[in-house]
Structure 1
Amino acid sequence: MNQTLRHPEILDIARRDGKVTVDALAAHFGVTLQTIRRDLAELAEAGRLERVHGGAVLPSGTVNIGYEERRALNAEAKAAMARACADRVPEDAAVFLNIGTSTEAVARALLHHRNLLVVTNNINVANILIANPTCEVVVTGGSLRRSDGGLVGALAAETIRQFKTDVAIIGCSALDRDGDMLDFDIAEVGVSQAILRQARQRFLVADHSKLSRTAPARIASLSQIDTVFTDRALPAGLAAACADWGTEIVVAG
């Protein structure tokens, strides 16, 4: 069976079961694992599925995929983007890091930076940076989101407003083709907006999968970002808009 016939059936299975796995699809169609991975990659590029570890799920515009699945998704690309981003962070700097698996990758890439002050609403970031003895970590208050270790709400935003940092590094759940950064949780959006307002330089770390996703809450426009770190070139229209806004695009990998 060729891919033209496989793709609709893969989508039917995903709608029926909520998720498809590479192993099960390879057995079902009698093809190689590599063939199925290619099918899922093409369906994800078209926005029909979202890749997760070992398979794919139907995309949602209102509910984020699970934290563990997000952490495994495009892990190598996130590590490359994180290294590129960390290279732009000077030592002896004050830095905001928000919620997300991409910003956690940046935290790992900052482990050898000296004399940083990091303000974060991400408990996972704080736990990573404990290993850097010269890094001072300030964790905001706020409501703990158990699903991913995020701290959100008015108390988190109020803590952030007490600081003015050299660099803000944020992630997002989705990136619209018109250049809007989107997220699922309005309480998290308010914190991210506070972070952007309180920083002298603003970085976004977002892999290519964010362009095939959608989410209901708007954080800000890329026109408010100084540098975007990603793993693939942006679509031509969005790249042109970024050039007009003066937003630098760094493709890592």
Structure 2
Amino acid sequence: MLGLERRQRIMEKIRLDRKVYVSDLAQTFKVTEETIRRDLEKLEGQDLLRRSYGGAVITESTSEDLSYKHRSAINSESKLAIAEKAARLIQDGDTIMMDSSTTCQALLQRLKGQKDVTVITNSIRLMNDFMGSGFKMICTGGTMRESSCALTGTIASQTLEKYYVDFTFISCKGIDREKGIMESNDSEGRIKSVMIRQARKAVLLIDHSKFDRTAFVKCDDFSHIDTLVTDEKPSSEWQSYLADNHINLIF
């Protein structure tokens, strides 16, 4: 296993467990403890975790805005799997809205080759990365949040409200059956909520680590979601909840 892949899997584990131990990781990946310590040192240098005696802990809080680079390094394999499944929903000629999530970036990458697709987004990164890709790209404008490269505020909302699309694709920081769909900050949460209401079908893209997770602010209810795409089979409680709320589950 390459070091990059091992470090990605370490980040997946620490996102789930909130902490990791050097000895356990060494046994899991069948490498020396010194190798794991070097991995943790590199991840700490990227501000992805904080080393502690015998292991490391995650530095994130419910209200912390992770940088785009930080989010790109987390659960990358899961995001690719989700993108592969979500891409099957899109047909040539569809119009879509996308938030500034790294999962949406993976999805748009997967959609290359689709014909006459219009993408409306509040993401500076998507506008830059897919310049010349063949998509018709529409930017919301607005006030940029540097950490996520997302445009928010009144201008962004007003732009979105002018359009009605086939699909909206969003991700979020956490979901809870009682609390709903949650985000780390109110400004991006409001944009996601507007996007949901402007679409014929609203699709939530989340990996397994987001289930039963509380974040700082509620951005919407599940009653406005049509489809949830994830990378692993959710618990039976979640499956029942989604079925009762008439939400199509793809995993």
Using structure 2 for the length normalisation, give the TM-score: 0.77
Which residues of 2 match residues 76-225 of structure 1 at below 5 A?
Answer: 76-133=77-134, 135-178=135-178, 180-211=180-211, 213-225=213-225
Instruction: Please tell me whether the aligned partners of residues 163 and 198 of structure 1 are also in contact (alpha carbons under 8 angstroms).
Output: yes
Of 212-221 and 72-81, the range deviating more from structure 2: 212-221
2:29 counterpart of 1:34: yes
2:225 counterpart of 1:230: no
Residue type of the partner of 1:175?
Answer: I
Instruction: Please tell me whether the aligned partners of residues 60 and 214 of structure 1 are also in contact (alpha carbons under 8 angstroms).
Output: no
Residue 42 of structure 1: aligned partner: none
The 2-side partners of 1:30 and 1:170 are apart by: 33
Query: Which structure 1 residue ranges, 5 or more long, are not aligned?
Result: 1-13, 37-51
Identify if the C-alpha distance between structure 1 residues 31 and 160 changes in structure 2 by more than 3 Å, giving closer, same or farther: closer
Q: CA RMSD in A?
A: 2.8
Classify the secondary structure of the residue corresponding to 2:220: strand
The 2-side partners of 1:71 and 1:104 are apart by: 9
Q: How far did 1:156 drift?
A: 0.5
The 1-side partners of 2:178 and 2:234 are apart by: 11
Q: Deviations over 1:90-145 (max 9, x none)?
A: 11011000121111111111111110111000111222322422x11001111111
Q: How far did 1:58 drift?
A: 4.4
Q: Deviations over 1:158-216 (max 9, x none)?
A: 10001000111111111114371100111111111111111111111100111253212
The 2-side partners of 1:240 and 1:20 are apart by: 30
Classify the secondary structure of the residue corresponding to 1:138: strand
Using structure 1 for the length normalisation, give the TM-score: 0.77
Residue type of the partner of 1:34?
Answer: F
Aligned-residue sequence identity (percent) comes to 25
The 2-side partners of 1:237 and 1:200 are apart by: 27
Residue 76 of structure 2: aligned partner: 75
